[in-house]
Structure 1
């Protein structure tokens, strides 16, 4: 009988294109991946990998089995969903990943709602970047993720994933208290063409978005400081080291020495939940998406914002 975890390993090699990529994706060592594949070759009696330069490639038999593995893993997900749906209750364990400001601004209330309404459901939250969360949902390490994109930089999800809008999150520009624009009712980005910027670290989705957005306005930004946490970014602004885009979700108290100025042509992040399509029938996933969307509506209503008309996101699974 074929071992499910070994099939999952082969599927990862097919998707990531290398043993090293599969190891990174599965959070294991390359040695562990190689051992699993060697055992799978012994189980099948066929060579599944062949050397190619310094790497490897799937043989014809490897590609054939990898295609079956992808379908088998999808069917396992459907089977899990069907069994849970038959019980009709949100019980068991649910793993959620969320980016930091969503983990701070949405998840505590959503988790409290789930605990009150579904006491037999155990939910675990892990904070992570959106791109990592999507990868981990895709390969089955997470049941659900809360991720984001921007008006001018939408995210294309891999096939087999579904999503639902949670809320739209406008952003302001944080400037030092003594900045020449600190007293303005609003600004346009061109007003900041000569300023230094504080940004997210290089390689992050939001850093790339900032560069793209400013360059689209004809601004070549001078990015002087990189910081992952919004609180660190605002501390740098307070000390006079630049300006920064500051989303409102999960912002918390604005530190002394910082002024928030709205952008005249509003910029907005779109926050949404992502899950494997086959898991959408699981009562626990439906309950979690419903709780996130309900809290998102409450947060957006309190701040006068919500999902934009004609949003790209698909509806949440029915309750």
Structure 2
């Protein structure tokens, strides 16, 4: 019988382009992934990967195994949902999410589900949206909340579906004595000489801020880097920086801090729920999705 764990490793190599990247996605060592692929090759009696430069590509047999094997794995995961009463989700459910959604959507979600589905044991974990997608794709999370922006889109791997949950907007945050505090709106051209606090490079929000200025062929002065929006507000309050802070999960601001709408372009992001296609009919996933829709409608 084919080794399903080894099959998942081969699929990960196909999805991520290398043994090293697959190992990172699966939380394995590269050696472990290589050994699992070799085990499959012995079972199939044929090579599944061939080296091209510094990377690897699937052989014809490897591509066929991935194509048919992915359907088998999806079908096996779907079987897990057959024995559940759709009206009473039970058991563990891991939801990966990003920070502001954790505060703005997940906290009230957990409160409602504790009443509606007390036998559903939800755990959560926080990560950048790109990492959330990877966790969902490899089965480390049952579903995930992600966001992307108009000019910075998330790529979803095969077998992962998404549905919109909420539309969020970000505002400029400044001290009340800042020259822009009384403005009805500002544009990136107004803000190019400001000192900014921003999330780290490689995060979607960082990429959006840089792209917002690139829209006008400008570059922002990213003076301070911090992953926490609470720190951004603190620096703006101190008068040493300005920040772009989303409304979702923002919470009350200090009295001496104000927000100013940004236009041209408007910093607007799409919040989505992502899940593996094989779990579409999961009662737990469907309930989580429905309650998130209710919460977004209340926002």
TM > 0.5 fold call: yes
Paired residue for 1:315?
Answer: none
Give 3-state SS (helix, strand or coil) of 1:82's partner. coil
- Once residues 13 and 150 of structure 2 are traced to their aligned partners in structure 1, the CA distance between those partners, rounded to angstroms, is 34
- Once residues 47 and 196 of structure 1 are traced to their aligned partners in structure 2, the CA distance between those partners, rounded to angstroms, is 55
Paired residue for 1:126?
Answer: 125
Paired residue for 1:240?
Answer: 239
Query: Bigger shift: 268-277 or 7-16?
Result: 268-277
1:280 and 2:280 aligned? yes
Task: Provide the aligned length of Structure 1 versus Structure 2.
Answer: 298
1:16 and 2:19 aligned? no
Could you tell me whether the CA contact under 8 Å between 2:130 and 2:154 is conserved in 1? no
Paired residue for 1:166?
Answer: 165
1:77 and 2:53 aligned? no
Could you tell me whether the CA contact under 8 Å between 1:50 and 1:59 is conserved in 2? yes
Could you tell me whether the CA contact under 8 Å between 2:98 and 2:127 is conserved in 1? yes
Could you tell me whether the CA contact under 8 Å between 2:198 and 2:206 is conserved in 1? yes
Distance 1:283 1:241, change over 3 A: same
Paired residue for 1:30?
Answer: 30
1:122-271 alignment, distance < 5 Å? 122-255=121-254, 257-263=256-262, 266-271=266-271
Query: Over residues 246-276 of structure 1, what are the superposed CA-to-partner deviations in whole Å (9 max), with x where a residue is unaligned?
Result: 1111112324653222235643222121112
Paired residue for 1:314?
Answer: none
Give 3-state SS (helix, strand or coil) of 1:116's partner. helix
Q: What TM-score does the superposition give when structure 1 sets the normalisation length? A: 0.86
Give 3-state SS (helix, strand or coil) of 1:236's partner. helix
Could you tell me whether the CA contact under 8 Å between 1:94 and 1:284 is conserved in 2? yes
Give 3-state SS (helix, strand or coil) of 1:148's partner. strand
Paired residue for 1:6?
Answer: 6
Shift of 1:150: 2.0
Give 3-state SS (helix, strand or coil) of 1:182's partner. coil
Could you tell me whether the CA contact under 8 Å between 1:200 and 1:228 is conserved in 2? yes
Distance 1:91 1:52, change over 3 A: same
- Once residues 56 and 218 of structure 2 are traced to their aligned partners in structure 1, the CA distance between those partners, rounded to angstroms, is 44
Q: What TM-score does the superposition give when structure 2 sets the normalisation length? A: 0.91
Query: Over residues 106-147 of structure 1, what are the superposed CA-to-partner deviations in whole Å (9 max), with x where a residue is unaligned?
Result: 101101111211111111111111111112212222111111
Structure 2: gaps of 5 or more residues: none
- Once residues 218 and 55 of structure 1 are traced to their aligned partners in structure 2, the CA distance between those partners, rounded to angstroms, is 35
1:58 and 2:84 aligned? no
- Once residues 255 and 289 of structure 1 are traced to their aligned partners in structure 2, the CA distance between those partners, rounded to angstroms, is 33
Could you tell me whether the CA contact under 8 Å between 2:175 and 2:257 is conserved in 1? yes
Shift of 1:101: 0.3
Could you tell me whether the CA contact under 8 Å between 1:235 and 1:255 is conserved in 2? no
Shift of 1:70: 1.5
- Once residues 217 and 41 of structure 2 are traced to their aligned partners in structure 1, the CA distance between those partners, rounded to angstroms, is 56
Shift of 1:228: 1.0
Shift of 1:283: 0.7
Shift of 1:181: 1.2
Query: Bigger shift: 125-134 or 271-280?
Result: 271-280
Could you tell me whether the CA contact under 8 Å between 1:106 and 1:295 is conserved in 2? yes
Q: C-alpha root-mean-square deviation of aligned residues, in Å?
A: 2.1
Shift of 1:193: 2.6
Distance 1:137 1:257, change over 3 A: same
- Once residues 276 and 221 of structure 2 are traced to their aligned partners in structure 1, the CA distance between those partners, rounded to angstroms, is 40
